[in-house]
Structure 1
Amino acid sequence: MKKQSISKEVLQMLDGVVESKATKEKLEQEASAARHEYKKQLEGAANLLHDQASKSDALADQFFTEEGVLYKGQLFLFDDEGALVVGMGPQVIEVEV
């Protein structure tokens, strides 16, 4: 490999690229771990709700409806296949006539 001199400005730019790449990779690893934990928690909640709903009509009537349950700004509802879905709270649509 041939040795060459590189200006400080170029070295700073290259350092910036290396540092931002390392940050990106770290954040991707953290995001992957967060997705895994979210999936685990969601599956655990769904399993518990299915189990509890089989024992209590009141709980089933709360969660297994088209409206779902609003908790801390998140809407919890079960889709047609029985999977628990979490989304932002109810969406209000304004229609002008």
Structure 2
Amino acid sequence: MFRECSVYVEQVPDWVPLDVDTTVVASGVAEVALGTALVASPRRLRPAVGAVAAAFFIAVFPGNISQWANRRDGFGLDTDKKRFARIMPRRRRDCQTLPTTGSAP
């Protein structure tokens, strides 16, 4: 399940107080749990799950900024232009999470 964790290590900002490997595994577990909850939760719970997912996306967003600012390769993002280009679609996804799950109008 977590075979290729090394590529995620490059996204963990230096200021995160936890061990990098612990951060990567915990984030992966949270992503799998949230994805499962978004797909499997009853309709009445989707707004709450959507709010939690949006909060998670916002919480991990500094990793995208860190990868760009520190010029760290990963996920085929081997230039500053590619790393920067990834940031805006992530923000759009974060903003779409709430309305698509019924958490916001």
Pairwise same-fold verdict (TM > 0.5): no
Report the TM-score, using the length of structure 2 for normalisation: 0.32
- Which of 1 and 2 has greater Rg? 1
Which structure: greater strand fraction?
1
Higher relative contact order (CA 8 A, sep 6+): 2
- State the TM-score, normalizing by the size of structure 1: 0.34
